[in-house]
């Protein structure tokens, strides 16, 4: 121990000798040294700013870095992309992030137009004034215009600003480079919930990811359009007509792709025609809601909010586990093996409940625990992907989730303190959107979408004083002390 303190003492002595060395005490040398340090500091900062070097990102979720999914898409770019930042100088957080795209690939060029008053052509083209701000992503004559509202959104349930810069810009790049957008139709006319309202977040995201999106009333249209790449069927308030049923069956027999988001299980509505559509895939969906009893598989102590892993072959390349939270899910049942073979059906399970779950059909029961009126305990399938072989060249595909509410804007109370939209629970949005991407053969959009909140750092008055003292006062004191030491030493020479 004495040797240890002895080494420290000798080290301090050498440091003192260095400080009191005559060359450092010379006034001119000291001034020059300080000037060089300041000049170096200013120069390095100016160089870093001009070179647009990316900031180092030490956050756990890499909030300030491009995601690997975006980097992968940028590597595959073949076209020359220009991103115009028009009047965006006040949004430094957004512009700094967008700069990362140019740093990531030589296929992207950033053009900053900070004074729109000098560009009458842009004012006329985009019908903007000197205060309007735009981000324009261009590929030749094809372009996608983003406003500030596209870069940020607001969650009125948690009162947080959501940063969507990366999603908006990456999706815009995809949109201006894609040759043909998939066409998705959402069945309307007899739906229990209005899809354009309750599914608005998912539908908006689908359009953002370069998809054509339309509503489809088969009775009005007369058929399922030939350009339908994916038909979305949601919960029905009344059964399909025979015409609607037959047109959907025709679509299936042509190799049609269907995404079904159905909370049909919680409605006492007879749907024999819809049942015939499901029967083509060997599926039946009975009445009743699943209640989970494994506390690790339920959200906020609510057994009807089921947390489960989402495992699907089409999402196997995503390097992280996905989880869903289903709301009032139903039990998906498949026909026996012989019937499935007869139908030409094979399937993979995407998600199940635990072995402790049960199905409840008597919703007048007040307890959340299982009663004699409930089904026996057992695992239930709540999401699945189904292939139906029509011919050697043609296969129809269905992905079904037995809960439309999991994809909805319905607010769910968490911990008795705040609300969150059901679609935002766990990876609900990613799972739904990735399923549609698979059905439309858009593997480039199967990813984890980054929607992290903008966090604001607030401090108390005392902490604010401490921070300002460290940043401003301490350096001044150090410089002042250096001047005093220099003056004293000079007099003693």
How is residue 437 written in tokens? 């991407």
Cβ–Cβ under 8 Å, residues 434 and 447: yes
Q: Are residues 321 and 371 in the same domain?
A: yes
Q: Is 261 helix (H, G, I), strand (E, B) or coil?
A: strand
Q: Indicate the angle between helix axes 68-75 and 92-104, nearest 10 degrees.
A: 50
Identify whether 258 is part of a domain: yes
- Residue 104 domain-assigned (yes or no): yes
- Give CA–CA dist 192/229, Å, rounded: 24
Residue 57 lies in a domain: no
Does residue 72 share a domain with residue 209? no
| Closest alpha carbon to 202 in 158, 157, 261 | 261
Residue that terminates a domain, selected from 131, 153, 177: 177
- Which helix (H) or strand (E) is 329 found in, with range? none
Task: Say if residue 221's pLDDT is above 60.
Answer: yes
Note whether 252 and 384 are same-domain residues.
Answer: yes
Asked whether residue 482 is domain-assigned, the answer is yes
Final residue in a domain of this structure, among 148, 177, 206: 177
Q: Which token pair is 40?
A: 């170096």
Based on the fold, state whether residues 211 and 344 are members of the same structural domain: yes
- Could you tell me which residue, 315 or 330, shows the higher pLDDT? 330
What pLDDT shows up at residue 49? Answer: 55
CATH number at residue 304: 3.40.50.880
374 within domain boundaries:
yes
Q: Answer for the pair 255, 395: CB distance below 8 angstroms, yes or no.
A: yes
What pLDDT digit, counting tens, does each position of 204-216 carry? Answer: 889 888 899 999 9
Q: CB count, 10 Å around CB of 152?
A: 16
- pLDDT tens track for 144-198: 899 888 888 765 545 667 788 888 898 889 888 888 899 999 999 999 999 999 9
- The position carrying tokens 């000049």 is 39
Cβ partners under 8 Å of residue 38, min gap 6: none
Closest by Cα among 462, 460, 308 to 382: 308
Using a 10 angstrom Cβ sphere, with 0-12 exposed, 13-18 middle and 19 or more buried, the burial of residue 120 is exposed
Total domain count, the chain: 4
The predicted pLDDT at position 131 comes to 82
Domain span including residue 119: 65-177
pLDDT for 342-384, tens place per residue?
Answer: 999 999 999 999 999 999 999 888 899 999 999 999 999 999 9
Q: What is the pLDDT of residues 467-490, one digit of tens each?
A: 566 666 666 677 676 666 666 666
pLDDT band at 452 (very low <50, low <70, confident <90, very high): very low
58 domain residue, yes or no: no
pLDDT, residue 11, reads: 56
């Amino acid at each position: 121990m004495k040797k240890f303190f002895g080494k420290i003492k000798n080290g301090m002595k050498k440091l003192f000798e260095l400080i009191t060395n005559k060359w450092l005490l010379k006034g001119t040398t000291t001034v020059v040294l300080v000037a060089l340090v300041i000049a170096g500091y200013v120069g390095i900062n100016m160089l870093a700013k001009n070179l647009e070097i990316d900031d180092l990102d030490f956050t756990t979720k890499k909030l300030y870095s491009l995601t690997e999914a975006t980097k992968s898409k940028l590597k595959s770019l073949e076209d020359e992309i220009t991103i115009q930042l028009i009047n965006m100088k006040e949004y430094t957080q957004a512009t700094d992030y967008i700069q990362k795209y140019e740093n990531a690939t030589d296929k992207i060029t950033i053009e900053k137009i900070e004074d729109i008053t000098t560009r009458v052509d842009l004012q006329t083209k985009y019908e903007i004034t000197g205060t309007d701000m735009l981000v324009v992503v261009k590929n030749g004559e094809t372009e996608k215009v983003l406003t500030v509202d596209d870069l940020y959104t607001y969650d009125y349930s948690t009162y947080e600003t959501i940063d969507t810069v990366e999603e908006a810009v990456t999706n815009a790049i995809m949109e201006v480079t894609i040759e043909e957008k998939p066409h998705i139709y959402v069945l309307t006319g007899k739906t229990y919930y209005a899809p354009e309202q309750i599914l608005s977040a998912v539908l908006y995201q689908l359009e953002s990811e370069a998809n054509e999106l339309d509503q489809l009333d088969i009775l009005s249209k007369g058929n399922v359009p030939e350009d339908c790449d994916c038909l979305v069927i949601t919960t029905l308030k009344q059964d399909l007509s025979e015409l609607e049923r037959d047109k959907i069956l025709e679509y299936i027999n042509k190799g049609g792709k269907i995404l079904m988001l159905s909370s049909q299980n919680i409605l006492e509505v007879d749907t024999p025609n819809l049942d015939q559509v499901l029967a083509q895939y060997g599926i039946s969906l009975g009445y009743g809601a699943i209640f989970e009893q494994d506390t690790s598989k339920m959200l906020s102590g609510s057994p009807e909010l089921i947390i489960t892993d989402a495992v699907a072959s089409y999402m196997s390349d995503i390097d992280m586990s996905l989880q869903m939270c289903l709301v009032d899910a139903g039990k998906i049942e498949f026909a026996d093996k012989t019937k499935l073979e007869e139908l030409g059906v094979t399937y993979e399970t995407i998600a199940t409940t635990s072995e402790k779950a049960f199905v409840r059909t008597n919703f007048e029961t007040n307890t959340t625990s299982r009663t004699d009126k409930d089904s026996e305990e057992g695992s239930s399938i709540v999401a699945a992907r189904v292939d139906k072989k029509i011919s050697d060249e043609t296969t129809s595909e269905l992905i079904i989730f037995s809960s439309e509410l999991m994809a909805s804007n319905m607010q769910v109370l968490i911990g008795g303190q705040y609300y969150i939209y059901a679609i935002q629970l766990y990876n609900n949005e990613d799972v739904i959107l990735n399923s549609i991407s698979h059905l439309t053969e858009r593997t480039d959009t199967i990813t984890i979408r980054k929607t992290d909140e903008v966090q604001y750092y607030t401090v108390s008055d005392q902490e604010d004083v401490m921070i300002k003292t460290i940043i401003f006062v301490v350096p001044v004191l150090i410089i002042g002390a250096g001047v005093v030491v220099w003056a004293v030493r000079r007099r003693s020479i």
